[in-house]
Chains A and B, each alone.
Chain A
Amino acid sequence: MGRIAALTRNPAMIALVAALAITGCASKKTPNSAADLGLNGAGAATPGSAQDFTVNIGDRIFFDTDSSSIRADAQTTLSRQAQWLNQYRQYAIVIEGHADERGTREYNLALGARRAAATRDFLVSKGVAANRLKTISYGKERPVAVCDDISCWSQNRRAVTTLSGAGS
């Protein structure tokens, strides 16, 4: 049920929840591609909407164990995010940093914070105004995938770019 919880934070995605519920806990893949959400391509979301951002751009990146380095695949996602955010400037942005459960609580709070900061810094380097960006760490408190194996842990080591403010 992890992806559902993550997506319901984004109001525009609520309509998708019912469809997702069918897939249940089989959240082995990254939940940020249009195909994965059953939308068959880009057309379903209004350009510039939060749904557009989550579905067509990808709201999250993933990290290696114990690392806050922005991987090559994550750089691609964040560059896309930056371009979109620079186009739709009405949004304020909160970057959530998360860790998997294979670390202790306090260290993981710090690690989640470091991931959120690294993500913020990358977006700023791509021209997103720093004053639009806030960060928060959830450590290992909000796993998106809940099972005890590597496929889940890798999904939980993430930074999620969430939109707020006017226009959503």
Chain B
Amino acid sequence: MKFILKPLLMVATIALGSMVGAAAPAWALVEINVNKGNVEPLPIAITDFQSNDALGAQITEIVTADLKRSGLFAPIDKSAFIEKISGPDATPRFDDWKVINAQALVTGSVGKEADGRIRAQYRLWDTFAGQQMAGEQFFANDANTRRVAHIIADAIYERITGEKGYFDTRVVFVDESGAKNARKKRLAIMDQDGANVRYLSDGRAIVLTPRFSPNRQEITYMSYESGQPKVYLLQIETGQRELVGNFPGMTFAPRFSPDGQKVIMSLLRDDGNSNIFAMDLRSRSTTRLTDSTAIDTSPSYSPDGSQIVFTSDRGGGSGRSQIYVMGADGSNPHRISFGDGVYSTPVWSPRGDLIAFTKQSGGEFQIGVMKTDGSGERILSSGFQQEGPTWAPNGRVLMFFRDSAGGPKLVSVDLTGRNEQQIPTANYASDPAWSPLLE
């Protein structure tokens, strides 16, 4: 199963020296403050990238879709455009864009170099200031045209919001097909927008809960392939697999440490309870982090690696699970969820500021976030059956899966809770895990 994750862009991101007013300071007009509760999407005109073939329109389409799905941008319909952009280096007639209320304007070009590489360049304009905000040029090999578009979308997002983008990312998930009581489950990977799906397992064994390594090249997941459910590592490029640890019982709920050196997971005890262990991937040494006669599972490190958030029903009360935080060495475990309901699947934000979770309350499953001390709980999405949030690398968007009408689908929601989007997948899909930004 050979699968090349990154026959990368020849990452030469060159600011175009010839451009007018490069990186001008006067960009205050065009700005989105994502920390404000109610963000009005920014009207933006994204013109077709000039090219000799269909590539230009394709790039524009992908950039437009990325920015629109973020909920922060309102791309203007092309039919409203007045000016026909004459060339990649020409200064636009800003009045023509202001009159259709395009506060930002994107122009660009894309073409094949003599050596077969693709060259793409874009410029982002502040129409009201009449200045260029950003301009870059990329070289990519032929297989990466979608990535070129995602990188351009990320650059626009970052320049205007001041936050890192999340479009040049992938999602590993479980593709589901067949009847509910005999589901075929396959590991799969795709771009964050649902394109370029590749399968990483054949569906013969149940596979669950894949998670990305910080190095983007490996995933850890749980599989029934040996008969006994166990945690595995998979090298995405080579397809090479290995068992994680040599434990006697079921291992499950794996996740990498932020430095990628450890896998943390649950191990089933002989008494039927589950405790949390960390395994160092180099030394193979394992460390017990909890020792309770309870279910301790779903561990997730804080991004600095100093703390672990996890699910436990150690508090009793007819087995109700809650969210706990402890030191990375297992010290000082303390409960942080105190709302009215059952909490599980905590995941620490890559920014460190929030913990996302699944909450069961009032017959519903809710996806929410709370601060790391448990305060400030906010529910972002409610439904009959949904669970398993994963963070976009910028900590602004969550993806989870929602079961309805026969099977699960992937859904993203931003931190305002207002922008919910279903991710297109050919089959049913569950257990999404978002990659870091690609390199």
Tell me the bound Cα distance from A5 to B431 in angstroms: 24
Is there an interface contact between A68 and B253, defined as CB atoms closer than 8 Å?
A: no
Q: Pick out which of these stretches binds chain B: A43-51, A54-62, A78-86, A143-151.
A: A143-151
Contact with A along B272-284 (1 / 0, CB 8 A): 1110000000000
A-side contacts of B252, CB under 8 Å: 106, 109-110
Is there an interface contact between B268 and A110, defined as CB atoms closer than 8 Å?
A: yes
Is there an interface contact between A137 and B311, defined as CB atoms closer than 8 Å?
A: no
Q: In the complex, which of the residues A2, A105, A116, A136 has the most CB atoms of chain B within 10 Å of its own CB atom?
A: A105
Is there an interface contact between B318 and A106, defined as CB atoms closer than 8 Å?
A: no
Is there an interface contact between A109 and B318, defined as CB atoms closer than 8 Å?
A: no
Chain B: interface residue total (CB-CB under 8 A): 42
Tell me the bound Cα distance from A118 to B319 in angstroms: 14
A-B contact count (CB 8 A): 105
Tell me the bound Cα distance from A7 to B278 in angstroms: 39
Is there an interface contact between A143 and B180, defined as CB atoms closer than 8 Å?
A: yes
B-side contacts of A106, CB under 8 Å: 209, 252-253, 266, 297-298, 311, 344-345
Contact with B along A122-160 (1 / 0, CB 8 A): 000000000000001111011111101000000000000
Which residues of chain B from 244 to 300 have a CB within 8 Å of any chain A CB?
250, 252-253, 266, 268, 270-274, 295, 297-298
Tell me the bound Cα distance from A28 to B431 in angstroms: 29
Residue ID in chain A nearest B180 by CB atoms: A146
Of A104, A114, A115, the residue contacting B344 (CB under 8 A) is A104
B93 adjacent to chain A (CB < 8 Å): no
B-side contacts of A137, CB under 8 Å: 229, 250, 268
Name the interface size band of chain A: 20 to 34
Is there an interface contact between A104 and B272, defined as CB atoms closer than 8 Å?
A: no
B-side contacts of A114, CB under 8 Å: 272-274, 295
Tell me the bound Cα distance from A60 to B369 in angstroms: 39
B-side contacts of A68, CB under 8 Å: 272, 319
B136 adjacent to chain A (CB < 8 Å): no
Is there an interface contact between A109 and B320, defined as CB atoms closer than 8 Å?
A: no
Q: In the complex, which of the residues A66, A110, A113, A117 has the most CB atoms of chain B within 10 Å of its own CB atom?
A: A110
Is there an interface contact between A146 and B358, defined as CB atoms closer than 8 Å?
A: no
A-side contacts of B392, CB under 8 Å: none
- Give the distance to chain B from A109, nearest Cβ to Cβ, in Å: 5
Is there an interface contact between B181 and A113, defined as CB atoms closer than 8 Å?
A: no
Tell me the bound Cα distance from A89 to B228 in angstroms: 24
Is there an interface contact between B181 and A146, defined as CB atoms closer than 8 Å?
A: yes
Tell me the bound Cα distance from A137 to B228 in angstroms: 9
Is there an interface contact between A107 and B229, defined as CB atoms closer than 8 Å?
A: no
B-side contacts of A66, CB under 8 Å: 318-320, 342
Tell me the bound Cα distance from A76 to B239 in angstroms: 49
- Give the distance to chain B from A27, nearest Cβ to Cβ, in Å: 10
Tell me the bound Cα distance from A27 to B306 in angstroms: 49
Residue ID in chain B nearest A102 by CB atoms: B360
- Give the distance to chain B from A69, nearest Cβ to Cβ, in Å: 9
Of B182, B209, B321, B388, the residue contacting A5 (CB under 8 A) is B182
B-side contacts of A24, CB under 8 Å: none
Is there an interface contact between A105 and B273, defined as CB atoms closer than 8 Å?
A: no
A111 adjacent to chain B (CB < 8 Å): yes
- Give the distance to chain A from B268, nearest Cβ to Cβ, in Å: 5
B-side contacts of A145, CB under 8 Å: 181
Tell me the bound Cα distance from A118 to B270 in angstroms: 10
Is there an interface contact between A101 and B403, defined as CB atoms closer than 8 Å?
A: yes
Known contacts A104-B344, A104-B387, A105-B431: does B298 contact A117 (CB below 8 Å)? no
Which residues of chain A from 13 to 56 have a CB within 8 Å of any chain B CB?
none
A-side contacts of B274, CB under 8 Å: 110, 113-114
A-side contacts of B180, CB under 8 Å: 143, 146
Of A1, A104, A113, the residue contacting B358 (CB under 8 A) is A104
Of B295, B358, B430, the residue contacting A111 (CB under 8 A) is B295
Known contacts A105-B209, A105-B431, A110-B266: does B295 contact A144 (CB below 8 Å)? no
- Give the distance to chain A from B312, nearest Cβ to Cβ, in Å: 10
Interface residues of A (CB under 8 A from B): 1-2, 5, 66-68, 101-107, 109-111, 113-118, 121, 136-139, 141-146, 148
The 9 closest A-B pairs by CB, nearest first: A117-B272, A114-B272, A110-B295, A106-B253, A66-B319, A146-B180, A104-B344, A110-B274, A104-B387
A-B contacts, 19 listed (Cβ < 8 Å): A66-B319, A101-B403, A103-B342, A103-B344, A104-B388, A105-B208, A105-B345, A106-B252, A106-B345, A107-B321, A107-B345, A109-B252, A110-B252, A113-B268, A117-B271, A117-B272, A137-B229, A143-B181, A144-B181
